Amino acid sequence: MMLEWVQIIGLSTIGIGLLLCYEATAGAGPLVRATRGEVWPKPQAFQRNYSYMFVRPNHFKFKVTFHTCAILDKAIERYKKIISAYSNVGGKQLRKWMKSDPLFHGYLDSLEVYLDTPCEEYPYLNMDELYSLKIDYGDLESKALLVSSSIWGVLRGLETFTQMLTPSIHIRNHLVVNSSLITDFPRFPHRGLLLDTSRHFEPLSVIFSILDGMECNKLNVFHWHIVDDQSFPYQSQIYPGLSEKGAYNPITHVYSIEDIQSVIEYARLRGIRVMPEFDTPGHTQSWGLSIPKLLTPCYQGGELSGTYGPIDPSRKENYKFVKTLFQEIISVFKDNYIHLGGDEVSFDCWSSNPNINQYMKDNNISTYEELESMYIQKVLNYVTNMNANSIVWQEVFQNNVTIQNDTVVHIWLGNLAQLLEEVTSAGHKALISECWYLDHLDKSWIDFYKCEPWNFDGTTEQKKLVLGGEACMWSEMVDESNVVSRIFPRASATAEKLWSSEDTNVVHSAQGRLEEHYCRMKKRGISAQPPTGPGFCPI
């Protein structure tokens, strides 16, 4: 028999408490038994007693005792609905034994929420997400208290508290929670999910569902890869032709400024940053449909081939266009970072073009890497002068482009340990995605879980430069019908690696918790797929 930690409702004489049982199944029944009331991602410090309290969903209240704001008010509304959804579930009405059970500590009818500083308006890199949660523990008898110095920590604590509640198997309309003490904070500040909406357009309802899943997993960066070669669904106010000619459908398959603002607001209320990516100079074929002479004409045998390559870096007009577009983008998206891409820039078209070659000769540019570097440096300077920060894909670094020290290098391909050592030894901050590509269907959540961000030969100072990472959902083979299930729960594994302590790394210890978390997401309307194999969700 394969062993696994599984949390169940256990009896103390005739009472009930949440006990831990080391168990999994073989043969009949589910492959992995789900835990009950375990938290995902695993908290940094979690102390729990066998004593327990009941929560009655229709009686329970959140009590805010100091600072509050719209973000907190909306969060309380959400979590009230989540808890209320567990009404009319559980066992039969059997109460006789409760009075004689020494582990039963009564009814928990409220959670006190204490936010000791005013709310911030927007989430940001390195925001404070630390919180403490005490439930009927130590000197706090028969009560519950959530404390944080930031609204973002309060949001994470509310998620944890709600996950700890699990239906009683003995008493209907009752949830049960153990006496517990949690001190929790993320290991990495950047815990992201990339969604590509160019190759397949995703409706707003799907994006909102993905953001719900991110909240449930304490992911805090929605990396919106909004445009690419295939389509340009971003509806620019300054350059409306980009979507009129570049979107799959300029009416139904576009994101207006109002749409984007609704996504930013939905994410903000959940403590999630929305970081856009507009990838240049490559991945811009859809851009060229409306902007004359933006792309480089390719030649073959000395004649125009009728195809086009990356943005033409020899034309001043193109820089004016890029600068103006990015000014609009930075004003629309509220985040301090913008992802500038820079990956997969083929030099074949540039090398075939006589005008490009003459430009290089006139400006003493000897290699196409130098030409790319000139373009990227100008764009980086534009962004810096707009008081924003930049992230680039790893090729920009590998091609020896001169980039500012505060430019973040995003690693997606190759030897992860070697690249992390090289990037951080050069003094650059790093993000990792190489091991967390959701479009790689041969990779299970277990593969994702085995990826360790600090597994490289670097000093302590180098490892501090790893900001975190992202699970990436490229959309060649997903649309609104299957994208959410392709993301979750595999992205949940990424979430735990980026939140929990480094020693939270044992797959078989995570299996039961992830099985429960999958069911939890389904209960909330998030279309997660089964993580391990045969099984069922009891509620």
Catalytic positions are: 344
Token duo for residue 449: 């879980």
- DSSP-derived secondary structure for 452-468: -TT-SS--HHHHHTEEE
Q: CA distances (Å), 317 to each of 227, 240, 380, in order?
A: 21, 18, 17
Centre a 10 Å sphere on the Cβ of residue 530 and count the other Cβ atoms it contains. 18
Helix (H) or strand (E) holding 393: strand 389-393
Among the listed residues 538, 454, 532, the one whose alpha carbon sits nearest the alpha carbon of residue 490: 532
Distance CA 256, CA 207 (A): 14
Residue 118 · residue 149 · CB < 8 Å: no
Q: CA distances (Å), 105 to each of 49, 54, 55, 338, 512, in order?
A: 11, 8, 11, 51, 27
Strands 466-473 and 430-432: parallel
Among the listed residues 532, 503, 510, the one whose alpha carbon sits nearest the alpha carbon of residue 44: 503
Among the listed residues 182, 176, 231, the one whose alpha carbon sits nearest the alpha carbon of residue 202: 231
Which residues neighbour 128 within 8 Å (Cβ) at sequence distance 6 or greater?
Answer: 148, 149, 150, 152, 153
Helices (H), 165-296: 204-216, 241-246, 257-268
Centre a 10 Å sphere on the Cβ of residue 261 and count the other Cβ atoms it contains. 15
Residue 506 · residue 450 · CB < 8 Å: no
